[in-house]
Homo-oligomer: A and B are copies of this chain.
């Protein structure tokens, strides 16, 4: 079929798509409505028409124009997914989980990075709206709750890592405090009493909760909290390296370190290595998040695991439910301690 001349009209913007629903209809000798019905399986259509339409579709490998469907249907089958950095190993697994579930449901994901700051997160959210997403998944952002509720007026949102009851919204909290106490009880159970905490960035809710868990476990074991055993990191390897180095150089003694996340622990590993200290012989180390790379660190790292992949999958299920007007019924994944080779009895 030669592409039919489109120049008849004198008005409107230029044409674009090579072959349209109308072309298929013409070729199959039916109306556009019928073609649409066959494609969408909306209504029964007689077999012979169906066959000829399907032949025409196959012949041209016709795909309905996405924007046109979107306009007619009022849906784009696209979900915006906000993480803090698309190249962060922590979020990576979560995005993977989201992708998998969304794809299975015929949705695609628009991923954007908030870079751990409100302005960028805000910008991403607007972009999502501008791109007409049907829903948004936010991985533990720092956007104020009020702002989220505002966006939720335009499209449904599921948010992880916080509790936010609001219409068109669903939250999947992360069990930071519980996880932290799990790590600490393990260390304390091994006889450690001088346990350093390499913290996350200041004021970050998850960081604060994990610190709270650290203190809670200390108290539980009747060990006095010693502020000087807490060093400020930034969730990254570099922060863990610097914080641990400072702790070491300042002469504080500790037999174990609980790190706010695995990346911080990897940084701590390097600091300890450079100081000639061995893990776990000289210092036991526990991380949080159980990154895939942590089973390959030397030695393999003991870590708290709350599967981010599963978190992502559930977030996807929740947003899909919201988008379809159903009430989500999903729970955050369980927290557990994965014991490897970085901890030992004192």
For residue A96, CB closer than 8 A to chain B, the reply is: yes
Interface string of A91-128 (1 = CB under 8 A from B): 01101100100010000111111000000000000110
In the complex, the chain B residue whose C-beta lies closest to that of A237 is B296
Q: Which residues of B contact A86 (CB under 8 A)?
A: 86, 92, 95-96, 99, 111
Q: Does A219 belong to the interface (CB within 8 Å)? A: no
Q: A305 to chain B: closest CB distance in Å?
A: 16
- In the assembled complex, the Cα of A299 lies from the Cα of B63 at a distance in Å of 52
Alpha-carbon gap, A292 to B73, bound state (A) = 44
Oligomer copy total: 2
Q: What residues on B are CB-neighbors of A71 within 8 Å?
A: 65, 67-68, 70-71
A291 to chain B: closest CB distance in Å?
9
Q: A292 vs B270: C-alpha distance in the bound complex, in angstroms?
A: 14
Interface residues on A, range: 35 or more
Contacts known (A109-B111, A110-B110, A111-B99); A298 close to B298, Cβ less than 8 A: yes
Does residue A43 face the partner (Cβ distance < 8 Å to B)?
no
Decide: B77 and A99 in contact? CB cutoff 8 A: no
Q: How far is the CA of A292 from the CA of B69 in the complex (A)?
A: 42
The distance in angstroms between the C-alpha atoms of A126 and B298, with both chains bound, is: 42
Q: Encode A298-310 as 1/0 by CB contact (under 8 A) with B.
A: 1110000000000
Q: Output the least CB separation between A276 and chain B (Å).
A: 12
Q: When A and B form their complex, which 6 residue pairs have the shortest distance between CB atoms, in order from nearest? A: A66-B132, A67-B70, A16-B74, A87-B92, A87-B96, A67-B71
22 sample A-B contacts, Cβ–Cβ < 8 Å, listed by A number: A17-B74, A65-B132, A66-B70, A67-B68, A67-B69, A67-B70, A70-B71, A76-B131, A86-B96, A86-B111, A87-B89, A87-B92, A87-B95, A87-B292, A95-B111, A108-B127, A109-B110, A109-B112, A237-B292, A241-B296, A273-B299, A298-B298
